[in-house]
A and B are shown apart, each in its own frame.
Chain A
Amino acid sequence: MGFETFVQTFANALVLGSIYAMVAVGLALAFGVMQMANFSHGELFMAGAYVVYVLYSLVGLPFLVAVVAAFPIVALIGMLFERVLFRPTRGNVLSGFMATAGAGFIMQVLVGQQWGVGLMRSVVVPYKGSAEILGAAISWQRLVIIPATIIMVGGLWFFLKKVKAGKGLRACAQDPEAAVLQGISLNKMTSLAMLLSGGFAGVSGALMAPIIPVTPYMGHVYGVTAFIVVIVGGMASIEGAVLAAFILGFIHTFISTVYDSVTATMVGVLFMAIVLVVKPTGLLGNVKV
């Protein structure tokens, strides 16, 4: 591998790691607060991409507006999930998980019937051209994901550490009963967690919409990867999710450059299996689930 290819691959890995981080952070947050996992996290990602498709490609709003709009729209879907699926099945992680699998089916069918299944929806690239870094050309459309992730994840970190509601979220994640005794409403917090979780998935889908084909089934791969990331990082650990996202982003990009993407997926899963055998709680996690 030449130096330029290396730089190119390195930059791609950073971009992919950023997207993984943004998708997985929401999943880890929701799991931490609710002790429930959303199987259709990938479908929320898909919903974000379709928000961009509709608002930017069909309606003609600026790309940035469409991406920002993806946050509240998908966040609302996330809240709906919480209200309709997670609240009735609270305490039974498998029920909630399987119920969201059903919800994923429903979302795929609805989106497919509305905007078509077969043809992929192409979204015109809004940021054309590419940046020249150490001899490697990286398109702006990809590069813009890195600062976006820094802003989003940094914002989440600030929210969790400094804002009262964010502290409430962390309290619920640590000990729901004690949090309730302190007067924190568990229902409000789980709702907030799913809101943030949906919003993050939506924005990451929105940012990826011009780069990857937009189809009703596009979210599956990202949802699965998000789960692998969260398991490797340690369920419910946000720092772990970010770390694992970049590790897996690098593994996936470098192996698919040298070999092919099927091998890359296989190595990623093997990595997860090894982590599970060596440290079942994940890299930075301390709860065994």
Chain B
Amino acid sequence: MSKSNSSSFIWLPVVIVIGLFCFAPQVVSAYRLELLTIFLINVILAQSYRLMTTTGDWTLCHYILMGVGAYATGILAKKFGVPFYAAMPLAAVITVGVSLILALPLSRTIGFAFFIASFALGEFIRHVWLKFHTPFGGARGVNGIPKLEIGQQGDWYFIDFWDSTNFYFFTLIFTVLALLVLYRIDRSRVGNAWKSIYADSELCESIGINVTRYRVLIFCVAGFFAGIAGSLLAYQVGSIDPHNFEMVEMVYLIIWVVVGGVKTYWGPLIGVFSMSLVFELARPLQEWRPLLFGLILILFLVFMPGGLETLLPRIKSFFLGLVGKKEVR
């Protein structure tokens, strides 16, 4: 896959998509706009999860890390009155700290045990939220998180975040920034080291890559972005409780990533977009929706293990009549 000549070609659609997102508030209703804001937050989450999977470590606690960011923001903003420009970085740093603690036992496991252990440790954090009423509010969570504030009423730089359009653009800026940074990380030397760990961790050890340290690092970097996403979520919804971060949500995140694919940078974006669309279209189905998503997950894993990102190459090779090798994950 030579990407060098197509990389300039790919930026045109990116600019168009960003333009469309800037234009969106003009055409959609306020309710739809809030859904779009949540969608943008989910994009950060899915893309950071994709980063996590580049070493082959599929965690089951990414959603919990998002929750850590959301709780940190909520508590800082509500109990201590910390303004957003301090609360958001602090929340991200706290999430990184929690990630670091989690990574210590997790980095001793690989593959499947990593998967399960991350899930169990995530549940541990969720139970901490449930158990301790101060400061986490127990089962009722943190309510009445103050809205984001930039300036006071009357200041020339005042932005009213009760207007959902303003918060939408605030989120859009963060999403675009996060995606750019994640793109650079993915292409960087460190990113290549992570990919080589997935390819052959023993070989990496032999050429001087400290596999454990790199795996801890990726966990923290992915945790940082999950924390940012959680912080935005806390400001958007205004109240969070432990039920927001249950296993079901994590399965949906996995569905996005599986449907899109993780081999390329664009896979999760396609996945989160198409599945959010299906999710909204399936709203009339109500209780049958999990069944639909279960079926989608199974069908993709069995019949298209590479995700939607492999669809185009597949169609191409089909039409070229090549026998070509299938792309395997």
In the assembled complex, A16 has its CB within 8 A of some CB on chain B: no
Chain B residue numbers with a CB within 8 Å of A266 are: 124, 127-128, 131
Q: Which of A70-78, A88-96, A128-136 has 4 or more CB atoms under 8 Å from chain B?
A: A88-96
Chain A residue numbers with a CB within 8 Å of B295 are: 102, 106
In the assembled complex, A154 has its CB within 8 A of some CB on chain B: no
CA distance A289 to B116 in the complex (A): 11
Interface residues in B295-316 (C-beta closer than 8 Å to A): 295-298, 301-302, 305
Counting chain A CB atoms within 10 Å of each CB, which of B105, B116, B121, B247 scores highest? B116
Q: Which of B15-23, B26-34, B143-151, B286-294 has 4 or more CB atoms under 8 Å from chain A?
A: B286-294
In the assembled complex, A50 has its CB within 8 A of some CB on chain B: no
In the assembled complex, A117 has its CB within 8 A of some CB on chain B: yes
Q: Which of A93, A95, A101, A231 contacts B117 (CB 8 A)?
A: A231
A contacts with B: majority SS: helix
Proximity bits, A138-172, B CB within 8 Å = 1, else 0: 00000000000000000000000000000000000
Give, as a whole number of angstroms, the nearest-CB distance from A94 to chain B. 6
In the assembled complex, B35 has its CB within 8 A of some CB on chain A: no
Pair A262/B131 contact, Cβ less than 8 Å: yes
Chain B residue numbers with a CB within 8 Å of A84 are: 298
In the assembled complex, B180 has its CB within 8 A of some CB on chain A: no
Pair A276/B329 contact, Cβ less than 8 Å: no
In the assembled complex, A63 has its CB within 8 A of some CB on chain B: no
CA distance A135 to B291 in the complex (A): 49
CA distance A37 to B127 in the complex (A): 25
Name the CB-closest residue of B to A37: B112
CA distance A117 to B287 in the complex (A): 10
Pair A269/B120 contact, Cβ less than 8 Å: yes
Chain B residue numbers with a CB within 8 Å of A98 are: 251, 254, 258, 297, 301
In the assembled complex, B104 has its CB within 8 A of some CB on chain A: yes
CA distance A170 to B112 in the complex (A): 21
Q: Which of A99, A108, A117, A260 contacts B298 (CB 8 A)?
A: A99
Proximity bits, A96-134, B CB within 8 Å = 1, else 0: 011101111110111011000100000000000000000
Q: Which of B109, B116, B301 contacts A280 (CB 8 A)?
A: B109
Give, as a whole number of angstroms, the nearest-CB distance from B60 to chain A. 10
Proximity bits, A261-289, B CB within 8 Å = 1, else 0: 01101100110111011001000000011
Chain B residue numbers with a CB within 8 Å of A260 are: 131
Pair A277/B294 contact, Cβ less than 8 Å: no
Chain B residue numbers with a CB within 8 Å of A108 are: 290
Pair A276/B127 contact, Cβ less than 8 Å: no
Q: Which of B104, B124, B290, B329 contacts A105 (CB 8 A)?
A: B290
Chain B residue numbers with a CB within 8 Å of A274 are: 105
In the assembled complex, B108 has its CB within 8 A of some CB on chain A: yes
Chain A residue numbers with a CB within 8 Å of B105 are: 273-274, 276-277
Pair B288/A109 contact, Cβ less than 8 Å: yes
Pair A269/B294 contact, Cβ less than 8 Å: no
Q: Which of A37, A101, A224 contacts B251 (CB 8 A)?
A: A101
Name the CB-closest residue of A to B106: A276
Name the CB-closest residue of A to B114: A289
Are A227 and B120 also in contact (CB < 8 A) when A97-B112, A109-B288, A277-B104 are? yes
CA distance A37 to B114 in the complex (A): 13
Are A262 and B110 also in contact (CB < 8 A) when A92-B305, A227-B116, A231-B116 are? no
In the assembled complex, B324 has its CB within 8 A of some CB on chain A: no
CA distance A262 to B129 in the complex (A): 10
Chain B residue numbers with a CB within 8 Å of A37 are: 112, 116
CA distance A274 to B329 in the complex (A): 32
Proximity bits, B190-201, A CB within 8 Å = 1, else 0: 000000000000
CA distance A273 to B225 in the complex (A): 25
Chain B residue numbers with a CB within 8 Å of A117 are: 287
Pair B305/A289 contact, Cβ less than 8 Å: no
Chain B residue numbers with a CB within 8 Å of A113 are: 287-288
Pair A103/B109 contact, Cβ less than 8 Å: no
In the assembled complex, B123 has its CB within 8 A of some CB on chain A: yes
Are A105 and B128 also in contact (CB < 8 A) when A93-B111, A235-B113, A272-B117 are? no
In the assembled complex, A195 has its CB within 8 A of some CB on chain B: no
Give, as a whole number of angstroms, the nearest-CB distance from B212 to chain A. 12
CA distance A269 to B131 in the complex (A): 14
In the assembled complex, B39 has its CB within 8 A of some CB on chain A: no
Are A105 and B291 also in contact (CB < 8 A) when A220-B247, A273-B121, A289-B113 are? yes
Name the CB-closest residue of B to A88: B302
Name the CB-closest residue of A to B296: A102
In the assembled complex, A85 has its CB within 8 A of some CB on chain B: yes
Proximity bits, B217-260, A CB within 8 Å = 1, else 0: 00000000000000000000000000000010001001100100
Name the CB-closest residue of B to A96: B301
Proximity bits, B256-296, A CB within 8 Å = 1, else 0: 00100000000000000000000000000001101101111
Measuring CB to CB, which residues of chain B are less than 8 angstroms from any residue of chain A?
58, 104-105, 108-113, 115-117, 119-121, 123-124, 127-128, 130-131, 247, 251, 254-255, 258, 287-288, 290-291, 293-298, 301-302, 305, 329
6 CB-based A-B contacts, threshold 8 Å: A84-B298, A102-B297, A109-B291, A113-B287, A220-B247, A280-B108
Q: A102-B295, A262-B130 are in contact. List 19 more A-B contacts (CB 8 A).
A: A92-B329, A94-B58, A94-B111, A99-B297, A102-B294, A103-B294, A104-B294, A105-B290, A105-B291, A109-B290, A220-B247, A228-B116, A231-B113, A262-B127, A269-B120, A269-B121, A269-B123, A276-B105, A276-B117
Q: Which 6 A-B pairs have the closest CB atoms?
A: A105-B294, A102-B297, A102-B294, A109-B291, A105-B290, A106-B294
